[in-house]
Amino acid sequence: DSGVTQTPKHLITATGQRVTLRCSPRSGDLSVYWYQQSLDQGLQFLIQYYNGEERAKGNILERFSAQQFPDLHSELNLSSLELGDSALYFCASSETSGNLYEQYFGPGTRLTVT
Amino acid sequence: AQTVTQSQPEMSVQEAETVTLSCTYDTSESDYYLFWYKQPPSRQMILVIRQEAYKQQNATENRFSVNFQKAAKSFSLKISDSQLGDAAMYFCAYRSDDKIIFGKGTRLHILP
């Protein structure tokens, strides 16, 4: 158990809909990262937040957005969902920002778009 | 742009034997970290081992060790005394400036 929690575990929704994935980092961790793991694209970095501010951006679609709240939990919002958005979405957290600090991964949220 | 290549989509090894998973990467940066992550059927991402690029000494964690060849941009993972619990997908990853780039993964089967 990494200490990172993600809800829900599974989510099934229809195309065109909007969903919100939630992540609670390990106690004391300031940085949160979001990743998408899909069959065709593999594991991709989406976005990072550090202490409430966006720190780094990867291959995140414009239909997707994220935020980190004052209590440091983070939410990833996916809108206008397409079949290709079906994937496992991971959240990871680290103590602070920087290469030195290990990222601890949550169990993931499996999103199925039908 | 940085890339990470794992050329072996699948590998098999007999229990108790040694296996080496290959990884190459491309970067123009000098300060970076390299990782191997394990993803068992539970889908949890588990850090196996990490290597700082500025360190010449190869990292070792119990039965897991790496062969880091910086000039060749190669970062292979050796698993000694393979166990059934080692069966998983293994991802090589490159990290710089908080972004991690993952390879496509190698699925490792352990034969009893």
CB contact under 8 A, B102 and A97: no
Instruction: Tell me if B7 sits within 8 A of B76, measured CB to CB.
Output: no
Is A99 a residue whose pLDDT tops 80?
A: no
Q: What integer pLDDT is reported at residue B45 of this predicted model?
A: 92
CA-nearest of B107, B79, B105, B100 to B34 is B100
**pLDDT exceeding 70 applies to what percent of chain A?**
98
Q: Is B18 on the interface with A (CB under 8 A)?
A: no
Q: Closest chain B residue to A96 measured between Cα atoms?
A: B98
Q: Closest chain B residue to A43 measured between Cα atoms?
A: B102
Tell me the shortest Cα–Cα distance from A82 to chain B, in angstroms.
23
CA-nearest of A36, A5, A54, A53 to A45 is A36
CB contact under 8 A, B44 and A107: yes
Q: Kindly list the distances between the CA atom of residue A53 and the CA atoms of A67, A89, A95, A111, B75, in Å, as whole numbers in the listed order.
A: 8, 20, 15, 26, 33
**pLDDT exceeding 90 applies to what percent of chain B?**
85
CB contact under 8 A, A99 and B104: no
CA distance A51 to A36: 21
Q: Please write the tens of the pLDDT for every residue from B48-87.
A: 999 999 998 999 999 999 999 999 999 999 999 999 999 9
CB contact under 8 A, A43 and B95: no
Instruction: Tell me if B44 sits within 8 A of B57, measured CB to CB.
Output: no
Q: Closest chain A residue to B50 measured between Cα atoms?
A: A102
Q: What integer pLDDT is reported at residue B99 of this predicted model?
A: 78
Q: Please provide the DSSP assignment of chain B as one string.
A: --EEE---SEEEEETTS-EEE--EEE-S-SS-EEEEEEE-TT---EEEEEEETT--SPPEETTEEEEEETTTTEEEEEE-S--GGG-EEEEEEEEETTEEEE---EEEEEE-
